[in-house]
Chains A and B, each alone.
Chain A
Amino acid sequence: MATETAELPAGPAVARRSPGRIALRRFLRHRSAQVGLVLLTAWVVLAVFAPWIAPYEPNELVSRARQAPSADHWLGTDHLGRDLLSRVIHGARISLVLGFVSVIFGLVPGATLGLVAGYAGGRVDAVISRLIDAMLAFPSIILALIIIATLGPGILNVMIAVGVASVPEYARLMRGQVLAARTQPYVEAAWLVGNDPARIMGRHIFPNANGPLIVFATLQVGNAILVGAGLSFLGLGAQPPTAEWGLMSAEGRDVLARAWWISTFPGLAILSVVVAFNLVGDGLRDAVDPRTRPA
């Protein structure tokens, strides 16, 4: 019955276009994502090559304290006489690492909990969901403060605190996605053709449910950097003499009127990184879910 042979969509241009690639193309064409990506790339390059790019060592005493921005010290010097530009560049390393690591600390356990709760259902879901609800009852900053209070101050503890505080958000998001995906006919078909639960979750549900999770995680990197800097500002995170943006802002706090640059430039650095992650996250969201894209 050759006459019934279905024809393929014509044209070589459509060959091998996976849904992931289509989303990637949409993302790369997204205007604000492009801006965010450029900004982010700049910060990553600065962070990675900080020792070569920065004019001085971050803790080197190079000049008199509290010198205003000048040709020698573009961003001026801090209250001890260290070069502020060098410290801001080195600070990017800590902030970026802190952002990514704390997101991983939140994402991995959160997504796993959500996946298991959503797929298993029943009593397992009830237990996990109650746990999530209980954690969500606290504002995440309070949760982070409680964890820091228990573990003690320090940059690693900040990452753990910020990460763990966001676990319930990831878990709730993932669970909702899984609940929507698990009743899809292709998931039922996957069970019928003989997949075990682990493969159904890993190969059939997760790849189709992770879009919103990726978007949220991206936005969350910016948020984690902000919270991390806030904790350091309060003296609960990085300790002197670390070149950390939140701590640096705190160090300039008392002399804000005489030496505005000491607090301002680290603050602007935080702002630009957070904005970059938000722009990229917006772009990802529109790429993953084209319905929200303005026409």
Chain B
Amino acid sequence: MTAPPLLEVADLRLHFPLGGGFAFGRRGTVKAVDGVDFRLEAGRTLGLVGESGCGKSTLGRAVVGLETPTSGSVTLGGRNLAARSRAERDADRRRMQMIFQDPFSSLNPRMTVGQTLAEPIRLHGLREGPGVAARVRELLGLVDLPEGARDRYPHEFSGGQRQRIGIARALACEPELVVCDEPVSALDVSIQAQIMRLLKRLQDELGVAYLFIGHELGVVRQVSDEIAVMYLGQIVERGAGRTLFREARHAYTRALISAAPIPDPRLERLRRRIILKGDPPSPIDPPSGCPFAGRCPVAIPRCHAERPPLERFGPDHAVACWRAGETPELLPILAQGAPARDGTSG
């Protein structure tokens, strides 16, 4: 038997009852995450991409334990987190950390950078005595912040610098997995690239695995070994990071790609947008068939009736779409006669 993957998520569901108060009764269920399976190997990056409300952030938060799943399992290094004692869970908390989207609210404004970084080291006894200060210096170096940052407060730093501090805090725990929840979405373009390169370098040096949550296709594409596309709480397509956006077969993925702008005016003029009608349906009591069927331009009756399973479609590629075989012809992304760019030019 092969070794278990670092992280395995099996049939995970997070359902929230709506309406709350006893006087009003239940008004439905939000199925934020509705039956998700994936595995992630040590030192690799799985990108989760989707639009707001698709459940990608909730999924990430459930993996680290900030949300409690309704059912299903999260298994870290072969041990099911839900099935273990509280003390064991607390010990395992260290092994999974998180980087947050908003660099301004993710740091305690009353603690210096040094205090923020030293806290996890002391709490877990990762270093003793003077070793703590040395480790803090080392962490600052890892994220390219000068030593002088130690005695300063978060409000003295720019967004990009704060994001580096947040990364250093996660690394202070010496985790095996870091959930990155839209870590560059709040940053300016020129700073985004700095943080993306930093995350990549840290992965190469430390062997940490990332669950990278994002909504920008370019960002997710660049950092991910594998990408999963989510829609209404389900993974609708999964594939290798290098090829998924070129070979996408789910109608939703193709619509997403066609809508995502490319910073190249000549290319933009050749593209054909698949303009989806309406807004994404809410995850409150979602439809029983394919979650995308209501907005899909090529849906057939079967799509409304039956939920398509996530099935393999070639090596490293899985699609949950009844029409996966026909979508490239049904939903072309480039206009007729446009040269297909596959990226060998760059």
Indicate if A touches B (C-beta under 8 A).
Answer: yes
Using a CB–CB distance below 8 Å, which chain A residues touch chain B?
1, 4-9, 14-20, 184-186, 188-195, 203-204, 207-208
Chain B positions 76 through 99: 1 when the CB is less than 8 Å from some CB of chain A, otherwise 0: 000000000000001001101110
**Interface membership of B71, Cβ < 8 A:** no
User: What residue of chain A has the Cβ atom nearest to residue B65's Cβ?
Assistant: A192
Residue pair B106, A186 in contact (C-beta under 8 Å): yes
User: What residue of chain A has the Cβ atom nearest to residue B181's Cβ?
Assistant: A185
Contacts A19-B110, A193-B123 hold; do A8 and B98 have CB atoms under 8 A apart?
no
Residues of B within 8 A of A203 (CB): 108, 111
Residues of A within 8 A of B106 (CB): 185-186, 189
Chain B positions 141 through 162: 1 when the CB is less than 8 Å from some CB of chain A, otherwise 0: 0001110110111011110110
Residue pair A193, B119 in contact (C-beta under 8 Å): yes
Contacts A1-B201, A5-B146 hold; do A193 and B161 have CB atoms under 8 A apart?
no
In-complex Cβ contact of B156 among A14, A184, A186, A188 (8 A): A14
Cα-based distance from A167 to B42 in the complex (angstroms): 52
Report B96-119 residues with CB < 8 Å from chain A CB: 96-98, 100-102, 105-112, 119
Residue pair A189, B123 in contact (C-beta under 8 Å): no
User: What residue of chain A has the Cβ atom nearest to residue B112's Cβ?
Assistant: A18
Using a CB–CB distance below 8 Å, which chain B residues touch chain A?
64-66, 90, 93-94, 96-98, 100-102, 105-112, 119-120, 123-124, 144-146, 148-149, 151-153, 155-158, 160-161, 164, 166, 169, 172-173, 194, 197-198, 201
Contacts A185-B105, A190-B108 hold; do A9 and B157 have CB atoms under 8 A apart?
yes
Residue pair A189, B169 in contact (C-beta under 8 Å): yes
Cα-based distance from A9 to B145 in the complex (angstroms): 12
CB-based closest 8 A-B pairs: A193-B120, A185-B106, A185-B100, A194-B123, A207-B110, A5-B144, A186-B108, A6-B161
Residue pair B93, A8 in contact (C-beta under 8 Å): no
Contacts A5-B146, A186-B106, A195-B123 hold; do A18 and B197 have CB atoms under 8 A apart?
no
Residue pair A188, B66 in contact (C-beta under 8 Å): yes
Cα-based distance from A185 to B116 in the complex (angstroms): 14
27 inter-chain pairs at a CB distance below 8 angstroms, sorted by A residue, are A4-B197, A5-B144, A5-B145, A6-B194, A8-B146, A8-B156, A8-B157, A15-B152, A19-B109, A19-B155, A20-B110, A185-B100, A186-B107, A186-B108, A188-B100, A189-B98, A189-B166, A189-B169, A191-B93, A192-B64, A192-B97, A192-B173, A193-B97, A193-B172, A194-B124, A203-B108, A207-B108
User: What residue of chain B has the Cβ atom nearest to residue A5's Cβ?
Assistant: B144
In-complex Cβ contact of A19 among B96, B97, B153 (8 A): B153
Cα-based distance from A171 to B102 in the complex (angstroms): 30
Residue pair B109, A193 in contact (C-beta under 8 Å): no
User: What residue of chain B has the Cβ atom nearest to residue A21's Cβ?
Assistant: B153
Most buried by A among B111, B151, B169, B173: B111
Cα-based distance from A189 to B100 in the complex (angstroms): 9
Min CB–CB distance A15 → chain B (angstroms): 8
In-complex Cβ contact of B93 among A6, A18, A192, A208 (8 A): A192
Residue pair A186, B105 in contact (C-beta under 8 Å): yes
Residues of B within 8 A of A207 (CB): 108, 110
Residue pair A185, B64 in contact (C-beta under 8 Å): no
Residue pair A195, B119 in contact (C-beta under 8 Å): yes
Cα-based distance from A65 to B155 in the complex (angstroms): 63
In-complex Cβ contact of A192 among B98, B111, B198 (8 A): B98
Residues of A within 8 A of B157 (CB): 8-9
Residue pair B98, A6 in contact (C-beta under 8 Å): no
Contacts A5-B144, A8-B146 hold; do A18 and B110 have CB atoms under 8 A apart?
yes
Cα-based distance from A203 to B112 in the complex (angstroms): 12
User: What residue of chain B has the Cβ atom nearest to residue A184's Cβ?
Assistant: B105
Min CB–CB distance A129 → chain B (angstroms): 14
Residues of A within 8 A of B164 (CB): 6
Residue pair A194, B201 in contact (C-beta under 8 Å): no
Residues of B within 8 A of A1 (CB): 144, 197, 201
Most buried by B among A6, A7, A9, A208: A6
Contacts A1-B144, A192-B93, A193-B123 hold; do A18 and B153 have CB atoms under 8 A apart?
yes
Cα-based distance from A145 to B172 in the complex (angstroms): 55
Given contacts A189-B100, A189-B106, 8 further A-B contacts (CB under 8 A): A7-B146, A8-B145, A15-B152, A16-B152, A185-B106, A188-B66, A190-B108, A194-B90
Cα-based distance from A6 to B158 in the complex (angstroms): 9
Most buried by B among A5, A17, A191: A5
Min CB–CB distance B62 → chain A (angstroms): 13
Residues of A within 8 A of B198 (CB): 4
